[in-house]
């Protein structure tokens, strides 16, 4: 078992098989010599049906042999289910389980599960501590060590957030073998964003690890976390690059047709300068990421963007743009007016909508 530097104050461990062997032991270590024979320890494990179906029995055994009482709380996976309804369900079951400050909340799943569990843990008044056990590359690279947990509302992305404080994160590459194909791009896109902003070498590393079993992910994730920390120190707003357009793509389809990673990959492709797109397209081909929108017209997404700005959900939003000054390229943060922002996003949308349905007329969209 190795330690990772995820740029948080919590413990972060990685290693093949560690999640099923060391999480319960880590919990017991936090009590030192405290006598818990009367009170006992409880652990509420929050997961989705797929992950729990594959792994819960093996994961739960470590708690049973250490006399830690557990309960499994299942939530629906996917961005379309990352909402307050799911959080309310979790809080209700946490309350019924009777957690207190001796106890633990464990998120066991991908990014949506970790957001839901982290949100519930932050709102819970039990005082229970929080552990994240991510099972996808995206949640290993970003969600599990994020400062906040986010929820969606209807077709709107990340409309609500709370601060989260993890006690520990356990990253086990064993779980990557059963990630559904649709969700694999989520991790790729996040790392491509870090590469474009801070470390181009990550692109080569990403291609290399995409074809491997990721039995040793420590070196790669340390590099990912280092890039993310460098971006965060420069300006946290840079970490939103690509969201300006990807949120509209996801929201238009209500998080169904395009995964979070596919939408972000499309937006990043449209954001980079024209001279960089051929090389990025070659990388996308190797990673099986899309470079153009399918089954939707240009005007459909454009109208979704206009609606976002009209109703205030995207108004006054800063936009990350590439610009060249004295022949040197850099990423800059713009604060455009709503009309200027829509003009920027319209230009980007044209790049990825070229092979989609024909551009609809206003009458077609009526």
86 and 138 within one domain: yes
Locate all alpha helices (DSSP H) within 3-136, ordered by sequence: 19-29, 49-64, 84-97, 111-123
Where does a domain end: 122, 157, 179? 179
The verdict on residue 185 lying in a domain is no
Look at residue 271 in the predicted model and tell me its pLDDT: 96
The enclosing domain of 284 has a CATH number of 1.20.1090.10
243 and 108 within one domain: no
The verdict on residue 40 lying in a domain is yes
Look at residue 275 in the predicted model and tell me its pLDDT: 93
Residue that has been written with the tokens 């792994």 in this structure? 55
203 and 152 within one domain: no
205 and 132 within one domain: no
CA distances from 165 to 62, 82, 91, 114 (A): 24, 19, 17, 12
20 and 67 within one domain: yes
Assigned token pair, 195: 């590469």
The enclosing domain of 116 has a CATH number of 3.40.50.1970
Give backbone dihedrals phi and psi of 329, rounded to 5 degrees, phi first. -85, 145
Residue 333: pLDDT above 70?
A: yes
Q: Which residues pair with 160 in a beta bridge?
A: 151
83 and 40 within one domain: yes
Question: Which whole number is the average pLDDT over 320-336?
Answer: 90
Q: Provide the domain limits for residue 260.
A: 190-365
Q: Hey, how many other C-beta atoms are within 10 angstroms of the C-beta on 219?
A: 12
264 and 145 within one domain: no
Closest CA to 300 of 233, 265, 249, 335: 249
Locate all alpha helices (DSSP H) within 65-174, ordered by sequence: 84-97, 111-123, 137-141
316 and 201 within one domain: yes
Residue 20: pLDDT above 90?
A: yes
- Dihedral Cα 320, 324, 326, 327, nearest 10 deg: 140
80 and 121 within one domain: yes
Where does a domain end: 159, 179, 199? 179
Enter the pTM of the model.
Answer: 0.86
| Count: domains in the chain | 2
Q: How confident is the model at residue 143 (pLDDT cuts 50, 70, 90)?
A: confident
129-165 CB burial, b ≥16 within 10 A, e <16: bbbbbbbbbbbbbbbbbbeebbbbeebbbbebbbebe
């Amino acid at each position: 078992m190795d330690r990772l530097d995820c740029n948080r104050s919590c413990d972060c461990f990685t290693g093949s098989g560690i999640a099923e062997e060391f999480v319960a032991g880590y919990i017991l270590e936090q009590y030192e010599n405290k006598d818990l024979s009367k009170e006992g320890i409880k652990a509420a494990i929050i997961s989705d049906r797929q992950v729990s179906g594959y792994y819960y029995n093996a994961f739960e055994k470590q708690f049973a042999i250490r006399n830690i009482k557990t309960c499994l709380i299942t939530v629906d996976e996917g961005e379309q289910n990352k909402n307050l309804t799911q959080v309310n369900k979790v809080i209700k079951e946490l309350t019924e389980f009777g957690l207190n400050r001796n106890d633990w909340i464990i998120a066991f799943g991908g990014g949506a599960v970790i957001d839901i569990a982290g949100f519930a843990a932050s709102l819970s008044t039990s005082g229970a501590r929080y552990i994240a056990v991510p099972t996808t590359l995206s949640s290993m690279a970003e969600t599990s060590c994020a400062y906040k947990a986010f929820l969606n509302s209807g077709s709107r992305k990340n409309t609500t957030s709370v601060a989260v404080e993890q006690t520990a994160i356990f990253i086990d590459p064993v779980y990557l073998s059963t990630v559904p194909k649709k969700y694999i791009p989520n991790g790729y896109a996040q790392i491509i964003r870090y590469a474009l902003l801070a470390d181009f070498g990550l692109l080569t590393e990403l291609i290399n690890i995409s074809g491997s079993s990721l039995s040793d992910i420590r070196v790669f994730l340390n590099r990912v976390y280092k890039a993310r920390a460098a971006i965060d120190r420069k300006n946290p707003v840079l970490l939103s690059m690509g969201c300006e357009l990807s949120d509209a793509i996801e929201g238009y389809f209500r998080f169904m047709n395009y995964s979070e990673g596919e939408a972000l990959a499309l937006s990043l492709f449209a954001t980079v300068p024209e001279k960089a797109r051929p090389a990025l397209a070659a990388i996308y081909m190797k990673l099986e990421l899309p470079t153009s929108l399918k089954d939707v017209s240009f005007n459909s997404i454009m109208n979704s963007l206009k609606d976002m700005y009209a109703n205030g959900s995207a108004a006054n939003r800063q936009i990350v743009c590439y610009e060249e000054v004295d022949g040197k390229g850099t990423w800059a943060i713009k604060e455009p007016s709503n009309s200027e922002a829509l003009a920027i996003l319209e230009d980007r949308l044209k790049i990825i909508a070229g092979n989609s349905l024909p551009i609809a007329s206003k009458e077609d969209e009526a």
